[in-house]
Amino acid sequence: MNTDQILKDLQIIVGREFATNSPEDLYIYSQDPGASLPRPVDFVVMPKTTEEVQKIVKLANEEKIPLVPMGGGLTLSGLIIPVKGGIVLDMKRMDQVIEINELSRYALIEPGVSTGQLLAYLNEHHPDLQPAIPDAPPSATIAGNVLIHGSGYLSQKYGDHGAIVNGLEVVLASGEVVKLGSCAVSDYWFARGPIPDLVGLFLSSFGTMGIVTKLSVQIFPKPKFREIVFGLMKDEENIPNLLLEITTKEFIEDVILGKQDKPEWMKGYIFFMVYITGDSQEDIDAKIKILKKIYRKNGARYMKATQKMIDLYIEKPIFASGAADFRKGGGFEYVGANMPLEKIPEA
């Protein structure tokens, strides 16, 4: 590989500032905050436009260099660290919110738009609408999240985040651009149909099928009231039934369950956080009552959320980021667990 020439070519495509192979830059991109060991990277490039992505893909093809797209780089499982060296294609400069369609309820965005950015944009310009976002740090991108079938806010109600994709613009390995969904046959990005649904080919394929350069995701009405209903239980065997009963209630936005040894009082318990929504406090109270009944029936205990918990989980849902960095001595790995209810006790 003629490293100097390739760097020059990349810099011609994106500008001098946005392509690099300096050791200090490559060091950063050779790792993520998860448990994977660092792996070597040859170049990092930050395109601004679809045309630039096309040119980079064509160059990588000619030179037979692997290409790994990266959003926020926060999946914690080494997905954005090349396996055999090559170019990391950092998409963060493609960060435009192109359109919010209130009527057909979608956001058309570039792949570098972060979850925090879209949330802030909607809060400012469309306060009655909300995106489906993960409980990840706000610098995670919407694209990176939907492309791994992520989950979090609203996933119980509307499906995992792969399900909220209405359409994609993708640069294929050949450098060609394709549009998938209603955007292929109209100016609107409102649905995956009416053409054959090929969006699925690009979900959970980690950039190997193409580089997403635009995407449309559904956005949702924001409920007036939101609350978390905590529960604690000891017996894993009761989880599937409890979850089944909870999730058949239509007022559930999302459910998180887990087990952790800290703080001390949580040791030995499985905890549930059930996010519910409503139009009034009375509405919320009635729903809490229903959940308490389900908890009791399945051997779980209701626990009133303290203000601190509400602050952590609803008001400032970025609680986990501080604890997630392996390099700082903390750490957990997001495994993106997809499994049938039956398998949860074993997990």
- Measured from the CB of residue 18, what is the shortest distance to ligand FAD in angstroms? 16
Give DSSP secondary structure letters for 247-264.
HTSTTEEEEEEEE---SG
Q: Identify which of residues 148 and 252 has a Cβ nearer to ligand FAD in the complex.
A: 148
Binding site for ligand FAD (CB under 6 A): 68-76, 79-80, 91, 111, 134-137, 140-141, 143-145, 147-148, 150-152, 206-207, 211-212, 320-321, 324, 334
Q: Identify which of residues 167 and 207 has a Cβ nearer to ligand FAD in the complex.
A: 207
Q: Identify which of residues 41 and 79 has a Cβ nearer to ligand FAD in the complex.
A: 79
- Measured from the CB of residue 171, what is the shortest distance to ligand FAD in angstroms? 8
Residue nearest to ligand FAD (CB): 144
d(CA 95, CA 75): 19
In angstroms, the Cα distances linking 219 to 186, 191, 229, 263, 275 are: 20, 12, 24, 36, 18
- Measured from the CB of residue 203, what is the shortest distance to ligand FAD in angstroms? 9
Helical pair 50-63 and 3-14, crossing angle rounded to 10 deg: 170
- Measured from the CB of residue 228, what is the shortest distance to ligand FAD in angstroms? 14
Rounded to 10 degrees, the C-alpha dihedral 100/104/110/113 comes to 60
Q: Identify which of residues 81 and 294 has a Cβ nearer to ligand FAD in the complex.
A: 81
35 close to 72: Cβ distance less than 8 angstroms: no
- Measured from the CB of residue 82, what is the shortest distance to ligand FAD in angstroms? 10
Say which amino acid occupies 309. Answer: M
Q: How many CB atoms lie within 10 A of CB 217?
A: 25
* Burial (CB count <10 Å: 0-12, 13-18, 19+), residue 70: buried
Bridge partners, 99 (sequence order):
108
Report, in angstroms and rounded to the nearest whole number, the Rg of the chain calculated over CA atoms.
22
Q: Identify which of residues 205 and 281 has a Cβ nearer to ligand FAD in the complex.
A: 205
Q: Identify which of residues 8 and 259 has a Cβ nearer to ligand FAD in the complex.
A: 259
- Measured from the CB of residue 307, what is the shortest distance to ligand FAD in angstroms? 22
- Measured from the CB of residue 136, what is the shortest distance to ligand FAD in angstroms? 3
93 close to 18: Cβ distance less than 8 angstroms: yes
HSE (CB half, 13 Å, CA atoms) of 134? 27
